[in-house]
Amino acid sequence: MIIQNRCRHLLLTAGIAFLTGCGGGGGEASSDPFPVAPGSPLAGQINIEAGSRIDQDTMDELGLSGAQPATSPQSLPLNFVLAGYVSGDSGRYEAISGQIFSYSADASDQFLVPLAPGEVVRLVSLGSRAGNPQLTLTLFDGSGMPPSATTDRESDPAEVTLGDGFSEDDYLLEVEATGSFPARYVLVKASTGQLGSFSLDWPAHEFMSGEAIVRMNSAGSPGLSGQSATPGRHLGNEDWLIKMPLKAAAASTEATKTETLDWIRGLRKRTDVASVSPNYLFSSANTPVGEELYGLQWHYDLINGPEAWQLAPDGGAGVSVAVLDSGLFSPDPASRSWHPDLEDNVLPGRDFVDGDDFPQDPGSSVAASVFHGTHVAGTIGAVLNGQGIGGVAFGGRILPVRVLGEGGTGSSDDLIDAIRWVTGETDGVAARAQVVNLSLGGLPEIPQLEAAIEFGVNERDMLFVGAAGNSATSSPSYPAASPNVLAVSSVDAGGQLASYSNFGSWIDLAGPGGDASRDGNNDGRADVVWSTSAVAGANGFEASYTGLQGTSMAAPHVSGVLALLKTQDSSLNYEGLRALLESGGLTDFSGSRSDQLGFGILDASGALQANLSGDITILSPSPSQVILGSETGSEQIVRLNQIGNGAISNVSISDTPPWFTVIRSDIDSTIALNVALVDSAIEENVAYRDVIRVDYQAGSELRSLDIPVVAQVLSDEFARTAGVHFVLLVNTTPVDGFYEAEAQLAVEPENGHYTFRFESDDGVAPKRLSEVSPGSYYLVAGTDIDGDGIICQPGEACAEYPIAGLREIITIEEGQSLEEVIMTTSFSRPTISASTPDILPRPDFSGYRLLEAGERRESLEYTRKTTR
């Protein structure tokens, strides 16, 4: 008994506690859910994310002897995330270290999908190592012209929608390959709001090697020794830019990306450090009626500019807009002059790239010269001089602040420093501008950046506007996604979301950013936004005008209108602006918010009229939508935050349907609603939708608010499948971007999860794939649906121990068993956000390599033989 008790103990490895046993021995049958055979060094379970499904003929099936593509459609549940594979032809992938993997033809996949009118199915193509073909998604709705859409070569998604007038039913969907190359894809259908920041790739934010932004636990100089870091620039408060000591960079003259991330992980363990993040890089998010080029400026008509200028004839006089961008074009740097359409409106600014007070955009030596900041500034505040163009706020002032350098990129430390200078926080002075335009982005959430913006909003009553980004994704892009910034998506001349524009629950409103691939207003010209720029001439660059597209072009329209509003009411702050936005006063609000356009398309004239009506008081729900169910919980608290200074009274809640209840339970002085699911009134696998109608009186005005409620109780746990999973123990150091397997299992789902069990290396040749020797590894699992010998690529399921994105080393020791190891697999990838601040980018991550091609198939066929 003493020996047995000593044999069961806690093994602490990489900060994780595992229950361990000696293995061997007899005894009664175990009731544990993780049966471990004698001598098994590692066993566990992989859970599957809700709604996960796999295409019925991926390379896991087609790679087996005699396999053929499926001939009948695959039925799918009400909501799903499905990963699939198609290929126009058969062929071979480029060899990796002498290994050759092949792919088989599978020209199309068909599915039966339950759809109701207005519901959307989205297709994202992820390509493959062989190429990135276009895929076509077609919905056969019984009409003569079934809706279809095609992914483009930049992996923009394709969407089809069941039109109004069709009945709720199962409809045939087809995903079809074009060309001869294979492609991984993800097909998604989810209830409104449930996609959120759904990301299919690992975080890949660029950052400066050998640098970090650190927040100390107390003010003053960072107490980091020379062995840990070299103090750099003070960014205000407890925030510092620090540099990695060269001797820590593995004898190189510059730290690599991997060394930088390892250094940051070490700094995070220090007790005197509150937070550390890489020094991330960001990039540009690529009346005037009498002006010469006004005929090209469709975008002013779209926002009702001419009507607005009648209401604000001074064009924003007395208001300054800071343009944090690439600087401005100067035709004569020696005299510090600016583009002639900007000259009279430009204030003395700062250059945080070169560290001086002349924020000139010199053009680019590494790429085409776009003069991005000049274009943005022109839309905001170009002067009226009878030539060229005029800006939205033609009477306002432009404060140029250069934070973007060569190639339109900048670093987050410069951006933080610049914002603190503009707000006056750095030197304790008044704000240098009332509105800040941020036509840049691509950053994750950074605490120091959020704090700098928050100071400007709360302490200086400043208004910030951000470009949503041009990646056609719902993943939040900062600083636009900050809660204190208006996030602006982009539309074409027809008011439709631009093909490149980001979207999502974090979008506040849309502005005209153009789309060069469209002619939305049928004027015979591409929908681009015209503004000030420069072109190469005989003696260097010369002032000119050009048309560009992007959310970078949409945001300055909003900034210009905010300048007009600030002239009209200098006390307008962010709280008042939110009230204006959410009440529909800032846009052509249709009555309901959307993830594409937020609260609608900017309406300059309507905003000025609404602003004249005085203080607006509204109730703003947080969250804005209630999602209940088996995966999200059966209860949710909704706070009704008051925006505005008026009195709120006579709050009433409308009758609710039988499947949920609403009880008012105020929290402090905030009205709060407890929304709860009634389980007995819910059928499994049926989606329920309704609204909570809140009627209230704001001052003397009667208002109402609708809060959408979505519910679904899933019974698909046993039906979930993410495809055949290869469970690997891989080396912790990559080779040419790949982590190579030392031991490998192939497992299939059973009752909605996977179980796995490795074996100890018995020293007898040949070594089996499932045998593992003592050592330190990463434990990972995932699919290889395109058969290229790599798992965890975009579009493939992936699990990492203990949490995806936060893998830790697991140590196998002689004679010990690690049991009850649990992971979760998913087709989505973690993002860097306030809820997951410890996630770091993965530069050059290419995936986890399987063992030899023949052994891959051998392990799969062996698994199927022994489990069926």
Cα distances (angstroms) measured from residue 709 to each of 180, 508, 600, 696: 45, 20, 21, 19
Mean pLDDT for the stretch of residues 18-23: 30
Predicted confidence at residue 227, as pLDDT, reads 63
Give the pLDDT score at 7: 27
Query: Which pLDDT does position 628 carry in this prediction?
Result: 86
> Which pLDDT score is estimated for 35?
41
Q: How far is CA 717 from CA 51, 298, 563, 714, 750, in A?
A: 8, 52, 53, 7, 10
Q: How far apart are CA 120 and CA 149, in angstroms?
A: 12
pLDDT (0 to 100) of residue 32: 41
| Stretch 589-612: mean pLDDT | 90
pLDDT confidence band for 181 (50 / 70 / 90)? very high
* pLDDT given at position 551: 95
Q: At residue 259, does pLDDT exceed 70?
A: yes
pLDDT tens-place string over residues 439-458: 999 899 999 999 999 999 99
192-201 average pLDDT score: 60
Selection from 287, 378, 304 nearest residue 340 by Cα: 378
Average pLDDT of the chain to the nearest whole number: 85
Q: Is 9 a catalytic residue?
A: no
Overall average pLDDT of the 677-702 stretch: 86
Q: What is the mean pLDDT of residues 217-226?
A: 65
Mean pLDDT of 428-438: 97
Q: Mean pLDDT check: name the lowest of 87-101, 107-121, 834-848.
A: 834-848
Mean pLDDT (whole number) for 680-696: 86
Sign of the Cα torsion 749, 753, 759, 760 reads positive
- Which is more confident, 752 or 31? 752
Read out DSSP for 727-755? EEEE-SS-BTTEEEEEEEEEE--BTTEEE
Average pLDDT over residues 74-90: 92
What does the angle CA 669 – CA 670 – CA 675 come to, to the nearest 5 degrees? 140
Q: What pLDDT is stored for residue 846 in this prediction?
A: 87
What pLDDT score was predicted for residue 21? 30
- From 372, 557, 725, 753, active-site residue: 372
CA angle 135, 136, 137 (to 5 degrees): 125
**Average pLDDT score over residue span 352-358:** 95
Helical pair 551-568 and 372-381, crossing angle rounded to 10 deg: 30
Q: What pLDDT score was predicted for residue 286?
A: 52
Taking a C-beta distance cutoff of 8 angstroms, is the pair 692, 627 a contact?
Answer: no
What per-residue confidence (pLDDT) applies to 225?
Answer: 61
Rounded to a whole number of angstroms, the CA Rg of the chain reads 29
Task: Kindly indicate the confidence band of residue 27, based on its pLDDT and cuts at 50, 70 and 90.
Answer: very low
Q: What is the mean pLDDT of residues 503-529?
A: 85
Number of CB atoms found within 10 A of residue 66's CB:
4
> Where residue 863 falls among pLDDT bands split at 50, 70, 90?
low
Residues whose CB falls within 8 Å of the CB of residue 772, separated by 6 or more in sequence, listed in order? 41, 42, 729, 742, 743, 758, 759, 760, 761, 812
pLDDT at 249 exceeding the cut of 50: no
More confident residue, 468 or 708: 468
On the CB side of 304, how many CA atoms lie within 13 Å of its CA?
A: 17
Is 552 an annotated catalytic residue?
yes
What pLDDT, on a 0 to 100 scale, did the predictor assign at position 119?
87
624-639 burial code (b ≥16 CB/10 A, e <16): ebbbbbbebebebebb
Q: Model's pTM, two decimal places? A: 0.76
Contact 174, 110 (CB under 8 A): yes
Q: Is 523 annotated as catalytic?
A: no
Q: Is the pLDDT of residue 346 over 90?
A: yes
Helix (H) or strand (E) holding 61: helix 59-62
| pLDDT exceeds 50 at position 472 | yes
Q: Is the confidence at residue 837, as pLDDT, over 70?
A: yes
Q: pLDDT category, 763, cuts 50, 70, 90?
A: confident
Find tokens 């670093």 and name the residue. 411
Instruction: Convert the pLDDT of each residue in 770-781 to its tens digit.
Output: 999 999 999 999
Superfamily of domain 207-282: Peptidase S8 propeptide/proteinase inhibitor I9 (3.30.70.80)
pLDDT exceeds cutoff 60 at 329: yes
pLDDT at site 28:
36
Distance separating alpha carbons of residues 833 and 269, to the nearest angstrom:
19
Q: Which of 52, 277, 474, 552 is catalytic?
A: 552
| Share of residues in the chain with pLDDT > 70 (%) | 87
Q: What is the pLDDT of residue 37?
A: 45
- For 718-741, the pLDDT digits (tens) are 888 999 999 999 999 888 778 889
DSSP string, 199-248: --S-----EEEEEEEEEESSSSS----TTT-EEEEEEETTEEEEE--GGG
| CATH superfamily of domain region 287-612 | Peptidase S8/S53 domain (3.40.50.200)
**3-class secondary-structure state, position 23:** coil
What digits encode the pLDDT tens for the residues 626-675? 888 876 788 999 999 888 878 899 999 999 999 999 999 888 889 999 99
* Pairing, β 790-791 against β 771-772: unpaired
Stretch 601-606: mean pLDDT? 94
DSSP 296-351: G-HHHHHTTHHHHHHH-TT-STT-EEEEEES-B--S-GGGT---TTTGGGBPP-EE
Catalytic residue among 57, 239, 325, 786: 325
Q: For the ranges 205-209, 225-229, 819-823, 851-855, which has the lowest average pLDDT?
A: 851-855
pLDDT at 785: 95
Does residue 34 surpass a pLDDT of 60? no
Q: Structure tokens of 135?
A: 């895929």
Percent of the chain with pLDDT over 90: 49
User: Is it the case that residue 184 has pLDDT exceeding 70?
Assistant: yes
Q: Does domain 61-189 have CATH number 2.60.120.380?
A: yes
Identify which of 97-101, 213-217, 853-857 has the greatest average pLDDT. Answer: 213-217
